[in-house]
Structure 1
Amino acid sequence: MKQGELTMKRFLSTALVLLIALVALAGCTGNSEGEGKTSEPPGQTGDNNGASGDNKLEQVTLKIMIPGDRPPDMDLVIAEAEKRMKDTINVKLDVVFVPWSDLAQKTQVTLASGENIDLIFDAPWLHINQMIASGFYEPLDDLLAEYGKTVLEKRPQQMWDYNKYGGKIMAVPLGVSYMSGNSYMVRKDIREKLGVPPIKTYDDLIAFAYKVKEQEKGIIPMTAGSATYSFVAHHALNDYDTHVRPTHALGNSLMLYYKNNDGKVYNLLEDREPIGTWLANTNKWFTDGLIFKDILTTKDFHQPISAGKVAIVTNGAFGIGDSLKNTFKNNVPNGELETVTFFSPEKGANFTNFKQWNFLAVPKVSKNKERAMMFLNWANEKENYDLLSYGIEGKHWEAVGEDKMKNLDTSGYSAFGYVWLWNPVDERTVIGGDPKNDEMDALLRDADMFTTDILAGFEFDGTSVQNEISQYNTVDGQYYTALFNGVIDPEDTLKKFEAEAGPALKKIQQELQKQIDEFLAARGK
């Protein structure tokens, strides 16, 4: 746990009551821009995101908070975007980038402080449920209907139907598929040097890690990232025996979990398997020296492999981005990376609830709600989507047909549309990648390849257990990431979880199960 995070979480839980009142007040004035002026002229709709003549819109600056690192050429791209918007929606952009490792704390503090933000990244694996329950986000149904026609059209109906909260659209889903690809980045050159054949199974992967430890003394065998991409959570992505997955109540935490697609909520303190075995194995790997000893303090978990210091790292895609490839090649000219995935391409093997992993929300405190939606509508037009997603055409990339592209300069502007723009219609595929990975990505975009999750469309209302969620989060921050990356003993740690958060976790489980039972009963299941 980062220094100060515990204090911050306690502050947040105490401050939420006062802040909700502030949010309510902000909501009364949030539909205006500037000093008491209405944000848009009468009759402005999503079909016409510009203004001309006497109806020219007053210029506003939108503050947008998204995760990642600011690309070197971001100012060039923003300048071009502002030039295109000047005579239409007349928007300036203040895009604030937050390091992934600081994202949860920074966005919580920003929302809790009432700072004016017009668009902010959030996600089920971050804290979108809690932020919605606390009243920080504006419902978007009316704004989309009036100002966001293109935003609506660029996403299939399933993406809207199954990404609502309390029956309302509370944030714009960002996605191009029905689940994410996943793999492990592996040092192919080291594998071949050690005479290890291509890795086909999870056991093969771990055997390779042990061989690296024995024979490559200057190389760290394995590392992973935070809680989302921890070794245990990543392993669960390809659990085809029980289909373990996180619940709606606690983001990416597997202290409560689903399995078997049976509509039941399982509590790790009571039902250990199969997660208990994964925790024990991961702890053994850490004890044996396979896992990077500084895993908890590394802000960018891709940095060690891009620097040539590690042989295996978890990866949230089937392929490897050009930016990381280029950095790795600069650092290890004779090295080579490959990806290994245990994803099953068989029809029906994977479950989906059509839920997206990333979202963009409009905070209640925003003074520019209508203009924020107009900007998103503008950004979801093909030409503008290309600009904001890939950079300046001819400098950073070039088009290959309608849906493909060639990268020219990813060091100046690498694609990061997944944190603020992603839609499945306009996203381009980079040519020159591994054809096998392209085939796998195509599978993820085919709804007919999936078994529909029994809980598709369900959303959890955590209002009645908000205090328990806050209590749990405090304990989670102390132990979870270390536990799920093998750093601490699972038996001792689960006893601490039980002592410090057991009652809170049980109450959350019971409330979640109650709501699921009601949801399934209403659907006749």
Structure 2
Amino acid sequence: MKKNLKKIVSLVLALVMSAGMLAGCNKSPAGKPNDGTSGSEATGEIPTLVWWSIGGTVPADLSESLDTINKYLVEKIGAKVEIKISSWGDWEKKMNTIVNSGEYFDLMFTNTNNYNRFVSMGAFADITDMVESNTPDLYKTIPEELWKGTQVGGRIYAVPTYKDSSIAQFWCFDNKYVQKYNIDVPSIKTMKDLDAPFRAMKKGEGKGFYPLQLSQGSQFSGFFNEYDGLTAGLYPIGVKIDDKNRKVVSVLEQPEIMENLKLLNQWYKDGIINPDANVLLEAPVGLPYLSAQGWPQAVSTWQKLHGVEKYDTVKVFGPVYNTDSIQGSLNAISANSKYKEKALELLQLANTDHKFRDMLAYGVEGKHFEYVSENVVKVLTDAWFQGLPKYTQATFFNMSTEDGSDPNQWNDVKKQNEDATTSVCMGFALDISNIQNEIANCKVVWDKYRYDMMAGASDPETAVPACLKELKAAGFDTIMIEAQKQIDEFFK
């Protein structure tokens, strides 16, 4: 009976995936170019490009502000943009719904969680040839290694965001707690090292205080850094970044991962993690502790984002390059867009035009920000900043810095990229065209367990075996075998 039920569930999921693919009408299969423009692009009308992204609270004046920004866009590329924001916690589900239903869009922020899968479903346009011929300035602006890291089956389906493209993980403590509890931040290197300061803070601040505040949209950042996710968008599978044998493993079963999951569970039970961490969509501001990927000077941004006067930081990982890190921020063009060329021109402008880049990052001059010097801005309101995160949009390297931050930080980010080591699987991207159903089924299983597991709300001693049992029934072993086969062939 159970076996039959599993078969029925798998069949239903496969049919849902197929229906989603059909709903998109005229989507091209993975590996087949679909970069032509429709007749509507040649009619002389001023198109409005729909751009879906991820962020926080949508600014109340977004529509009004876009009217101002669009005047500049019309002047530059003869197009307008409508930016739509999905919240951190709802983003992945929302993008799945958009793609599966065939809802119209022109551009979409994407990353390793769904990029390869959406490419395999034919949701994104193949821009390999068009990006060089139609937008040469864009192609030249972004390093070749980033274009390579974006490829699926040797083709390009998205524009990578050229920024801190290698991974460097920082842990941050609000300075007022550092001073109050004598926390030796530089000595903290592992999750076990966090235990003592967390407990000191909890004991001193009382029952309603949670040193580690998590949510569905903000889990423990960097938890799986030691494993290359192979762009599968499925954390339970990976290769240790320094394993020269490149052995594909079940990540949840690795000893250090299990130990850290147990630690999360203990923190949850002891009230160090907020009790609603597994159901809360977004974490509150003012976090006493923060785990974030970035570069040293990014602390000024994190302080502003979380309303903390001063964070004391320590780098605990990296910098390391892998294909996942490159695919951590991408913008793709819909295979069904009526304005593919204009969409690509928009991304070129964002990556090469200083004025437009600042508009995306900071909003409307005189309303959301003002220039204090040629490449330095003073932010007048946090509303735009909170709703539209800069890392999702375009390169950092033609964007103004904020008043009070290091004006040379972009040079330091470039140096961090140059100094990064590389994963043993750097350049490899899993082709999921033959395992789409297994990937989709396993993502359903992982989504069922991950919010409890990554919040510490479930006991990993029972949750991990239960999760693995369902993953295997959903095709996990097939994915691992296929991944190992492709890796061996790629690095032969």
Q: TM-score range by the shorter chain?
A: 0.7 to 0.9
Please state whether the residue corresponding to 1:367 is helix, strand or coil: coil
Paired with 1:439 and 1:59, the residues of 2 have a C-alpha distance of: 38
Structure 1 counterpart of 2:354, which letter? K
Query: CA offset at residue 191 of structure 1?
Result: 2.9
Paired with 1:249 and 1:413, the residues of 2 have a C-alpha distance of: 31
> What residue number does 1:3 align with?
none
Residues 197 and 23 (structure 1), Cα distance of their counterparts in 2 relative to 1, 3 Å cut: closer
Residues 9 and 462 (structure 1), Cα distance of their counterparts in 2 relative to 1, 3 Å cut: same
Residues 412 and 220 (structure 1), Cα distance of their counterparts in 2 relative to 1, 3 Å cut: closer
Query: CA offset at residue 420 of structure 1?
Result: 4.6
Which of residues 186, 190, 211 in structure 1 aligns to 2:200?
211
Which of residues 435, 455, 464 in structure 2 aligns to 1:485?
455
Please state whether the residue corresponding to 1:234 is helix, strand or coil: coil
Q: What does 1:387-398 align with in structure 2 at a 5 Å threshold?
A: 387-398=359-370
> What residue number does 2:311 align with?
338
1:283 aligns with 2:265: yes
Paired with 2:444 and 2:157, the residues of 1 have a C-alpha distance of: 26
Please state whether the residue corresponding to 2:156 is helix, strand or coil: coil
Please state whether the residue corresponding to 2:26 is helix, strand or coil: helix
Which of residues 209, 216, 222 in structure 1 aligns to 2:212?
222
Query: CA offset at residue 65 of structure 1?
Result: 0.7
Which of residues 44, 48, 53 in structure 2 aligns to 1:61?
48
Which of residues 408, 423, 443 in structure 2 aligns to 1:473?
443
Please state whether the residue corresponding to 1:285 is helix, strand or coil: helix
> What residue number does 2:422 align with?
452
Query: CA offset at residue 97 of structure 1?
Result: 0.9
CA contact (8 A) 2:166 2:322 kept: yes
Name the stretch that deviates more: 173-182 or 487-496.
173-182
Which of residues 328, 331, 336 in structure 2 aligns to 1:365?
336
Residues 39 and 131 (structure 1), Cα distance of their counterparts in 2 relative to 1, 3 Å cut: same
Please state whether the residue corresponding to 2:105 is helix, strand or coil: coil
Query: CA offset at residue 93 of structure 1?
Result: 2.0
Which of residues 242, 245, 248 in structure 1 aligns to 2:227?
245
Please state whether the residue corresponding to 2:326 is helix, strand or coil: coil
Q: Deviations over 1:106-164 (max 9, x none)?
A: 1111111111100011101x211111111111101233133322321221222112221
Name the stretch that deviates more: 115-124 or 405-414.
405-414
Mark the runs of 5 or more structure 2 residues left unpaired by the alignment.
Answer: 1-8
> What residue number does 2:276 align with?
294
Q: What does 1:17-166 align with in structure 2 at a 5 Å threshold?
A: 17-23=18-24, 25-26=26-27, 31-33=36-38, 37-40=39-42, 57-68=44-55, 69-87=57-75, 89-124=77-112, 126-166=113-153
1:268 aligns with 2:251: yes
Query: CA offset at residue 399 of structure 1?
Result: 4.2
Please state whether the residue corresponding to 1:221 is helix, strand or coil: coil
> What residue number does 1:515 align with?
486
Paired with 2:12 and 2:133, the residues of 1 have a C-alpha distance of: 38
Paired with 1:468 and 1:19, the residues of 2 have a C-alpha distance of: 16
CA contact (8 A) 1:219 1:311 kept: no
Query: CA offset at residue 94 of structure 1?
Result: 1.9
Residues 400 and 506 (structure 1), Cα distance of their counterparts in 2 relative to 1, 3 Å cut: farther
> What residue number does 2:350 align with?
379
Q: Deviations over 1:149-182 (max 9, x none)?
A: 2321221222112221111111111131232443
> What residue number does 1:4 align with?
none
Please state whether the residue corresponding to 1:222 is helix, strand or coil: coil
Paired with 2:61 and 2:415, the residues of 1 have a C-alpha distance of: 31
Paired with 1:339 and 1:11, the residues of 2 have a C-alpha distance of: 50
> What residue number does 1:433 align with?
405
Paired with 2:256 and 2:305, the residues of 1 have a C-alpha distance of: 38
CA contact (8 A) 1:196 1:208 kept: yes
Paired with 2:70 and 2:193, the residues of 1 have a C-alpha distance of: 51
Which of residues 192, 212, 216 in structure 1 aligns to 2:179?
192
Mark the runs of 5 or more structure 1 residues left unpaired by the alignment.
Answer: 1-7, 42-56, 238-243, 330-335
Paired with 2:94 and 2:277, the residues of 1 have a C-alpha distance of: 21
Residues 191 and 87 (structure 1), Cα distance of their counterparts in 2 relative to 1, 3 Å cut: closer
Name the stretch that deviates more: 212-221 or 186-195.
186-195
Paired with 2:247 and 2:260, the residues of 1 have a C-alpha distance of: 21
CA contact (8 A) 1:39 1:368 kept: yes
Query: CA offset at residue 351 of structure 1?
Result: 4.6
Structure 1 counterpart of 2:315, which letter? F
Paired with 2:358 and 2:88, the residues of 1 have a C-alpha distance of: 24
Structure 1 counterpart of 2:119, which letter? I
Q: Deviations over 1:390-417 (max 9, x none)?
A: 2233443344666x42323132432746
Give aligned pairs, total.
Answer: 469
Residues 324 and 79 (structure 1), Cα distance of their counterparts in 2 relative to 1, 3 Å cut: farther
Name the stretch that deviates more: 161-170 or 312-321.
312-321
CA contact (8 A) 1:225 1:314 kept: no
Which of residues 287, 291, 305 in structure 2 aligns to 1:314?
291
Paired with 1:12 and 1:127, the residues of 2 have a C-alpha distance of: 16
Alignment RMSD, CA only? 3.1
CA contact (8 A) 1:32 1:368 kept: yes
Query: CA offset at residue 29 of structure 1?
Result: 9.6
Structure 1 counterpart of 2:130, which letter? L
Residues 456 and 209 (structure 1), Cα distance of their counterparts in 2 relative to 1, 3 Å cut: same
Residues 288 and 216 (structure 1), Cα distance of their counterparts in 2 relative to 1, 3 Å cut: same
Residues 288 and 26 (structure 1), Cα distance of their counterparts in 2 relative to 1, 3 Å cut: closer
Identity value in percent: 22
CA contact (8 A) 1:116 1:367 kept: no
CA contact (8 A) 1:12 1:112 kept: no
> What residue number does 1:46 align with?
none
Residues 445 and 109 (structure 1), Cα distance of their counterparts in 2 relative to 1, 3 Å cut: farther
Structure 2 counterpart of 1:92, which letter? K
Please state whether the residue corresponding to 1:500 is helix, strand or coil: helix
Residues 253 and 444 (structure 1), Cα distance of their counterparts in 2 relative to 1, 3 Å cut: farther
Q: Deviations over 1:256-287 (max 9, x none)?
A: 44342422211136x52221221122222222
Name the stretch that deviates more: 452-461 or 162-171.
452-461
